[in-house]
């Protein structure tokens, strides 16, 4: 052994010895940490799945079991036929078909790792891993599925065609340097359970939710700047949570109960956490310079949107997984106390799964008295895994619906892959007047590009492109390389 190799050997030995003793005294966030693999401890009090077992290892290394948690998702809604139920004639009689338990797990890695999943619900006839664009193949042996990954991925493992009792696997990149728990500008939540109620976050603060931590409550970022919410833990919104653990709300601060509310704010970053909401996952209202990256969200209740953006600018949504029981991404003009145009919004490298309503919706809400413009919107490199919406007025995987005197312009959809969804349309471009939500028709839709769009399915309803009248029209819409991958 050379002198250089000898020093390297003792350096690695020292690192592993230090890691062992830190684990022993409970100060390390990870249950198992290797050179390029981090596994976080199980969270007590969060229901775990009995449908799967999973373990992960570096190539040829030691196997590490992962905790698998349950999240609620919905099968969708059912519009009961009036002849069967006379009270069901109006769309408001849409019935939620009930929540289901889906499973999810997560870990961090770099390099190449191997994953082994055992299915526990019964016989395993077939398995698939989505998005199909990942190119990850399930190798099935009995009731065990094996595969490997060489890059961070968000995957859905589905056995026997079951998209509800499936396993979502979030293989994150290595986290890097964590904020220090003793930093006065850091609010640090280590592994374990933390009840916070509704917290008003001050300017300049970093909220850190460590892997293995469960924070129950919500964060309000109102009239603030330079705020970050980071980590690998879980934020779970508790219905009717107390406000006793947060500062008194200032006059003019919203009383909305979204899981993370960003309003009249700037320079805000949310990165890495998993969210179990019972309202909107993230609402961005009249704010600028906001980044939402690598969050994962599951919801099952009514109006449980993913990320909604109102009257804001310079917003980046990157590498998110949203499985929600209402619109997963919605971009609007004016509503409530938010005013102004919406512009320079980018959504990219993400997976959208709408168990109800739209994967992507732009428009609808605006200001008829002082019309809004929604412009320079980009959606790129995305997988849409499902849409299930029986109401024709609310269909469309990619929807531009101009109401309330909105003008929607300069929109780009590029490199979007759409799976065979249950019920809906591929495109819905309308200048409309929805009397339930609008006080006027929209002004128009113009300069929209659809490029490299693929659809792997057969059952979509006919897409719709329509203006309202000669003065409020849809114009300059370009389709380039629109195709089907279905056999």
Whether 217 maps to a domain, the answer reads: yes
Q: Does 63 lie in the same domain as 97?
A: yes
Whether 298 maps to a domain, the answer reads: yes
Looking at 107, 138, 173, the residue that finishes a domain is: 173
Q: Is the pLDDT of residue 27 over 80?
A: no
10-14, 64-68, 134-138, 160-164: which range is least confident on average?
10-14
Q: Are 299 and 352 in contact (CB under 8 A)?
A: no
Whether 17 maps to a domain, the answer reads: no
Q: Does 227 lie in the same domain as 129?
A: no
Whether 27 maps to a domain, the answer reads: no
Q: Does 131 lie in the same domain as 78?
A: yes
Residue 66's domain spans which residues? 33-173
The CA-based angle 224-275-332, given to 5 degrees, is: 60
Q: Does 452 lie in the same domain as 308?
A: yes
Q: What is the pLDDT of residues 106-152, one digit of tens each?
A: 999 999 999 999 999 999 999 999 999 999 999 999 999 999 999 99
Mean pLDDT, range 271-278, rounded to an integer: 97
Token pair of 418 as six digits: 């759409």
Token pair of 307 as six digits: 């990320």
Whether 197 maps to a domain, the answer reads: yes
Q: Does 417 lie in the same domain as 302?
A: yes
Q: Are 416 and 379 in contact (CB under 8 A)?
A: yes
Whether 312 maps to a domain, the answer reads: yes
Q: Does 339 lie in the same domain as 197?
A: yes
Q: Does 219 lie in the same domain as 155?
A: no
Q: Give the start-end residues of each E strand in 131-211.
A: 139-141, 144-149, 153-159, 167-173, 186-189, 192-200, 206-209
Q: Which of 155, 100, 81 is nearest to 325 (CA)?
A: 100
Looking at 118, 146, 173, the residue that finishes a domain is: 173
* pLDDT value at residue 116: 98
Mark out the alpha helices in 222-356 (DSSP H runs).
none
Mean pLDDT, range 96-101, rounded to an integer: 79
Please state the separation of Cα 141 from the chain's center in Å: 32
Q: Are 289 and 270 in contact (CB under 8 A)?
A: no
Average pLDDT, the chain: 88
CATH number at 135 reads: 2.60.350.10
Q: Is the pLDDT of residue 11 over 90?
A: no
Q: pTM here? A: 0.89
Whether 280 maps to a domain, the answer reads: yes
Q: What is the pLDDT of residues 289-328, one digit of tens each?
A: 999 999 999 999 989 999 999 999 999 999 999 999 999 9
Q: Does 74 lie in the same domain as 197?
A: no
Coil, strand or helix at 258: coil
Task: Quickly count: other Cβ atoms within 10 Å of residue 159's Cβ.
Answer: 24
Token pair of 303 as six digits: 């109006």
Using CA atoms, how far apart are residues 73 and 369, in angstroms rounded to an integer? 38
Q: Does 228 lie in the same domain as 195?
A: yes
**Phi first, then psi: what are they for 14, rounded to 5°?**
-60, -40
* pLDDT value at residue 243: 45
Using CA atoms, how far apart are residues 41 and 49, in angstroms rounded to an integer? 15
Whether 8 maps to a domain, the answer reads: no
Task: Quickly count: other Cβ atoms within 10 Å of residue 192's Cβ.
Answer: 15
Please state the separation of Cα 344 from the chain's center in Å: 20
* pLDDT value at residue 10: 32
Q: How many CA atoms lie within 13 A of 334 on its CB side?
A: 18
What's the total number of domains in the chain? 2
Q: Does 362 lie in the same domain as 327?
A: yes
Q: What is the pLDDT of residues 440-463, one digit of tens each?
A: 999 999 999 999 999 999 889 999
Q: Does 140 lie in the same domain as 196?
A: no
Looking at 173, 204, 228, the residue that finishes a domain is: 173
What is the band of 17 on the pLDDT scale with cuts at 50, 70, 90? very low
Q: Are 399 and 428 in contact (CB under 8 A)?
A: yes
Q: Does 197 lie in the same domain as 161?
A: no
User: Residue with structure tokens 């799967």?
Assistant: 52
CATH number at 383 reads: 2.160.20.10
What is the band of 250 on the pLDDT scale with cuts at 50, 70, 90? low
């Amino acid at each position: 052994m050379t002198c250089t190799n000898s020093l390297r050997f003792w350096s690695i030995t020292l690192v592993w010895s230090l890691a062992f003793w830190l684990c022993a005294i409970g100060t390390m966030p990870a249950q198992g940490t290797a050179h390029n693999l981090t596994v976080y401890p199980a969270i007590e009090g969060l229901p775990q799945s009995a449908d799967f077992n999973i373990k992960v290892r570096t190539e040829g290394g030691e196997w590490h079991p992962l905790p698998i948690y349950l999240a609620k998702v919905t099968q969708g809604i059912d519009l009961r036929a009036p002849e069967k139920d006379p009270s069901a004639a109006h769309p408001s009689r849409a019935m939620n078909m009930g929540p289901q338990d889906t499973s999810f797990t997560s870990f961090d890695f770099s390099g190449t790792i191997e994953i082994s999943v055992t299915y526990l619900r019964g016989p395993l006839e077939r398995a698939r891993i989505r998005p199909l664009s990942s190119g990850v193949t399930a190798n099935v042996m009995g009731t065990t599925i094996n595969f490997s990954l060489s890059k961070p991925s968000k995957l859905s493992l589905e056995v026997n065609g079951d998209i509800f009792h499936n396993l979502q696997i979030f293989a994150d990149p290595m986290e890097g340097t964590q904020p220090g728990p003793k930093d006065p500008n850091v609010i640090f939540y280590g592994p374990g359970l933390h009840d916070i109620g509704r917290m008003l976050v001050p300017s300049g603060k970093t909220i850190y939710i460590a892997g293995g931590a469960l924070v129950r409550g919500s964060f309000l970022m109102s009239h603030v700047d330079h705020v970050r919410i980071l980590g690998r833990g879980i934020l779970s919104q508790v219905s009717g949570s107390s406000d006793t653990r947060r500062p008194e709300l200032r006059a003019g601060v919203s009383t909305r109960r979204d899981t993370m509310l960003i309003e009249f704010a700037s320079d805000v970053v949310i990165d890495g956490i998993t969210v179990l909401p019972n309202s909107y996952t993230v609402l961005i209202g009249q704010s600028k310079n906001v980044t939402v990256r690598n969050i994962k969200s599951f919801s099952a209740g009514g109006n449980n949107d993913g990320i909604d953006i109102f009257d804001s600018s310079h917003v980046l949504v990157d590498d998110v997984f949203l499985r929600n029981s209402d619109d997963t991404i919605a971009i609007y003009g004016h509503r409530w106390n938010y005013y102004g145009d919406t512009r320079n919004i980018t959504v990219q490298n993400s997976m959208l799964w709408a168990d109800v309503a739209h994967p992507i919706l732009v428009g609808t809400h605006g200001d008829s008295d002082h019309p809004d413009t929604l412009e320079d919107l980009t959606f790129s490199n995305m997988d849409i895994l499902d849409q299930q919406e029986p109401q024709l007025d609310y269909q469309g995987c990619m929807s531009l619906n101009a109401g309330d005197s909105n003008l929607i312009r300069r929109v780009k959809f590029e490199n979007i892959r759409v799976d065979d969804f249950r019920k809906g349309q591929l495109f819905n471009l309308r200048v409309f007047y929805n009397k339930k939500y609008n006080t006027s028709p929209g002004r128009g839709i113009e300069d929209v590009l659809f490029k490299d769009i693929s659809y792997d399915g057969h059952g979509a309803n006919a897409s719709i492109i329509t203006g309202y009248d000669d003065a409020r029209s849809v114009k300059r819409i370009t389709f380039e390389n629109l195709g089907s991958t279905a056999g």
